[in-house]
């Protein structure tokens, strides 16, 4: 059964926005263009496109007629779809109301909707096998476009990543070969194209862009932006021997709308899958679903995994949301076949296998360390739980949260930490928390030193702490305090005059260190 909601999710928010979807909405069967007064053209389960509808009264009448015939939804463009009288009519009739982006071509939308409906069975089969529905179609489309322009073609997203490429790539240049091998334009080649204003022209909406040959042997390029509804979805790049005739360039550009539909379908599927994965991950991290269901539905391999929590709240709060979304997008597109990530309570949680290579924890760690600061100075901090069975994600999440707490408190150095690597800090922190609860710091003469420091700023408590941490090494203790070793010895002499302590007794040293750790680490 194909639901209205699943169709909207597949097509994506660029083209469709569900204004009203009743719970008992019929399953979708076909797509029909409404003809004024032609009631018999609408059948049960149809998606009814109000192409010729321009008045609110006509829209309300179309909605009532479609509902009477058992249609699944009525699709209208703004501002008509959002008018109160139209929405009331849809709610009263119990039929779904979908708003279509104003710049969308009705003809292209019909083609896309029927493609989505026809492909749902194939997509389900591809999902079961772990494949990417539509990817094969995109490669075949690249071959078809290459035949039109008589040149080798790549189809790329807005981040210059290769989504598909045609045959005959052996007849190109080293830059294209490196692009295919690395699945994105190499950084040095990208810099040269950027310096020539190529991406600036793409963003301006030029129909075709010709880039002449370069001194390093890079052949000319004919580039066409891929747009839909005013949004730039990607671009097509053809390696050509020289200037291209207007007819060939126009034919190349004419293929862009068809490619745009495929990219939207592909992105809509990815977005829907990502949303479902994120909802399931939130549920398991909060202990609301059985872990084994998560392993099956998220397709986690039978190998150790980590839960990684990323905190972007260190900088200006105005940048936090943008940085969180940027990280989520990068992780979702660049790590693993089916990345699992979700935002929860203002934090980003990611599940990654604990192994080197693509999609593993070491790769994510390097990416987080390389993440630049936001415009207002914010840098992400991240902590990973210990590696464990994929059915123990809730436990790994708790470990990641605890390690993140150490980072936030400045008790461990750096911006990225792993739970199993920070064991000394965790031991001290847990011991300090227990000691603080037992009020051990209130015993003995430590309170006298604290009161003296508050009155005179003598620094005796810090001095005693570093002295005990570096037994027999006054130079190291003095270095931590940023004072001269002689100053350290003088302070210790005055300290022992104030509170006589037998520092030769190991039990006294251990008890004092326990108290001082409780003060500093709890």
**pLDDT tens-digit profile of 8-38?**
876 766 678 999 999 889 989 888 888 655 5
Could you give the CA distance from residue 431 to residue 425 in angstroms, rounded to a whole number? 10
Torsion (CA) 14, 18, 23, 27 in degrees, nearest 10: -60
Could you give the CA distance from residue 425 to residue 75 in angstroms, rounded to a whole number? 59
Extract long-range pairs of 167-174: CB within 8 Å, 24+ residues apart.
167/143, 171/239, 172/219, 172/239, 173/217, 173/218, 173/219, 173/239, 174/217, 174/218
| CB-CB contact of 207 with 126 (8 Å) | no
Tell me if 285 is assigned to some domain: no
| CB-CB contact of 231 with 14 (8 Å) | yes
Q: Are residues 91 and 145 in the same domain?
A: no
Using one digit for the tens of pLDDT, what is the confidence trace for 375-384? 444 677 899 9
Tell me if 428 is assigned to some domain: no
Phi, psi of 196 (to 5 degrees): -90, 5
Q: Are residues 120 and 184 in the same domain?
A: no
Tell me if 433 is assigned to some domain: no
What residues does 31 pair with on adjacent strands? 47
Q: Are residues 77 and 143 in the same domain?
A: no
Could you give the CA distance from residue 157 to residue 233 in angstroms, rounded to a whole number? 6
Using one digit for the tens of pLDDT, what is the confidence trace for 258-297? 888 788 767 666 666 666 777 777 887 877 777 777 677 7
| CB-CB contact of 309 with 418 (8 Å) | no
Tell me if 130 is assigned to some domain: no
Residue 6 confidence (pLDDT): 83
| CB-CB contact of 24 with 94 (8 Å) | yes
Residue 147 confidence (pLDDT): 81
Place of tokens 């793409």: 202
Q: Are residues 297 and 354 in the same domain?
A: yes
> What number of other Cβ atoms are within 10 A of residue 485's Cβ?
15
Q: Are residues 114 and 157 in the same domain?
A: no
Q: Are residues 145 and 247 in the same domain?
A: yes
Q: Are residues 77 and 18 in the same domain?
A: yes
Q: Are residues 156 and 237 in the same domain?
A: yes
Number of H helices, E strands in the chain: 20, 15
515 cis-preceded (ω within 30 degrees of 0): no
Q: How many CA atoms lie within 13 A of 250 on its CB side?
A: 3
- What one-character-per-residue DSSP string does 122-184 give? HHHHHHHTT--TTHHHHHHHHHHHHHHHTSEEEEEETTSBEEEE-S-GGGS-HHHHHHHHHTB
Give Dmax over CA atoms of the chain in angstroms. Answer: 103
Q: Are residues 331 and 386 in the same domain?
A: yes
Tell me if 205 is assigned to some domain: yes
Residue after which a domain boundary falls, among 358, 387, 421: 421
Number of domains in the chain: 4
pLDDT of the chain, 522 residues: tens digit per residue: 688 988 887 676 667 899 999 988 998 988 888 865 555 578 899 999 998 888 999 999 999 999 999 999 999 999 999 999 999 999 999 999 999 988 777 866 776 677 667 655 454 444 444 444 444 567 878 888 888 788 889 999 888 888 888 877 767 888 888 887 667 788 888 888 888 888 888 887 778 899 998 888 889 999 999 987 667 888 999 999 899 888 888 888 888 888 887 887 676 666 666 667 777 778 878 777 777 776 777 767 788 889 999 887 755 444 455 555 556 655 655 554 455 777 787 788 888 888 887 778 888 888 788 766 554 446 778 999 999 888 888 889 999 999 998 888 888 888 899 999 888 888 888 887 777 777 877 788 888 888 888 888 888 888 888 988 888 888 998 988 899 999 989 999 888 888 888 888 888 888 888 888 888 776
Strands 73-76 and 96-100: parallel
Q: What is the CATH number of the domain that holds 192?
A: 3.30.450.40
Residue 369 confidence (pLDDT): 82
Tell me if 70 is assigned to some domain: yes
Tell me if 430 is assigned to some domain: no
Residue after which a domain boundary falls, among 91, 124, 157: 124
Strands 340-344 and 416-418: unpaired
Q: Are residues 10 and 81 in the same domain?
A: yes
Using one digit for the tens of pLDDT, what is the confidence trace for 191-247? 888 888 888 888 877 788 999 988 888 899 999 999 876 678 889 999 998 998 888
Q: What is the CATH number of the domain that holds 304?
A: 3.30.70.270
Residue 111 belongs to domain spanning:
4-124
**3-state SS class at 266:** helix
Q: What is the CATH number of the domain that holds 93?
A: 3.40.1390.20
Q: Are residues 230 and 305 in the same domain?
A: no
Tell me if 277 is assigned to some domain: no
Q: Are residues 187 and 117 in the same domain?
A: no
């Amino acid at each position: 059964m194909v639901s209205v909601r699943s169709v909207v999710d597949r097509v994506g928010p660029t083209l469709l926005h569900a204004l009203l979807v009743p719970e008992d909405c019929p399953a979708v069967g076909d797509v029909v263009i409404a003809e004024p007064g032609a009631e018999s053209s609408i059948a049960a389960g149809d998606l009814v496109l109000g192409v010729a509808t321009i008045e609110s009264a006509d829209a309300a009448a179309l909605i009532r007629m479609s509902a009477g015939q058992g249609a699944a939804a009525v699709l209208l463009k703004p501002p008509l779809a959002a008018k109160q009288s139209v929405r009331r009519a849809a709610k009263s009739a119990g039929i779904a109301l979908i708003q279509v982006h104003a710049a969308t071509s009705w003809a292209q939308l019909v083609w896309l909707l029927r493609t989505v409906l026809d492909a749902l069975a194939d997509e389900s089969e591809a999902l079961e096998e772990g494949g990417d529905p539509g990817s094969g179609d995109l490669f075949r489309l690249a071959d078809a476009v290459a035949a039109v322009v008589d040149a080798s073609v790549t189809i790329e997203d807005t981040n210059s990543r290769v989504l598909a490429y045609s045959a005959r790539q052996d007849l190109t240049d080293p830059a294209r070969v490196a692009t295919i091998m690395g699945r994105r334009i190499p950084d040095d080649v990208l810099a040269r194209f950027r310096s020539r204003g190529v991406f600036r022209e793409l963003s301006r909406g030029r129909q075709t862009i010709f880039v002449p040959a370069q001194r390093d042997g890079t052949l000319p390029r004919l580039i066409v932006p891929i747009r839909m509804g005013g949004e730039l979805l990607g671009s097509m790049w053809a390696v050509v021997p020289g200037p291209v005739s207007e007819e060939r360039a126009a034919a190349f550009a004419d293929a862009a709308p068809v490619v745009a539909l495929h990219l939207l379908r592909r992105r809509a599927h990815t977005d829907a899958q990502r949303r479902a994965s994120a909802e399931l991950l939130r549920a398991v991290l909060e202990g609301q679903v059985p872990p084994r269901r998560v392993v099956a539905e998220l397709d986690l391999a039978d190998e150790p995994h980590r839960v990684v929590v990323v905190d972007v709240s260190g900088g200006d709060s105005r940048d936090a949301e943008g940085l969180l979304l940027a990280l989520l997008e990068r992780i979702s597109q660049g790590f693993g076949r089916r990345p699992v990530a979700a935002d929860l309570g203002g934090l980003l949680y990611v599940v990654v296998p604990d192994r080197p290579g693509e999609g593993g924890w070491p790769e994510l760690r390097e990416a987080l360390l390389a993440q630049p600061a936001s415009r207002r100075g914010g840098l992400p901090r991240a902590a990973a739980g210990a590696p464990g069975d994929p059915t123990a994600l809730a436990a790994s999440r708790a470990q990641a949260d605890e390690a993140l707490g150490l980072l936030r408190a400045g008790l461990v150095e750096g911006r990225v930490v792993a739970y199993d690597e920070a064991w000394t800090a965790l031991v001290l922190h847990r011991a300090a928390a227990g000691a603080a609860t037992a009020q051990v710091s209130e015993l003995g003469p430590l309170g006298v030193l604290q009161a003296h420091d508050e009155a005179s700023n003598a620094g005796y408590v810090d001095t005693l702490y570093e002295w005990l941490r570096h037994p027999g090494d006054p130079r190291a203790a003095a270095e931590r305090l940023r004072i001269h070793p002689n100053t350290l010895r003088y302070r210790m002499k005055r300290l022992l005059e104030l509170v006589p302590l037998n520092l030769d007794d190991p039990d006294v040293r251990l008890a004092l260190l326990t108290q001082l750790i409780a003060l500093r680490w709890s």
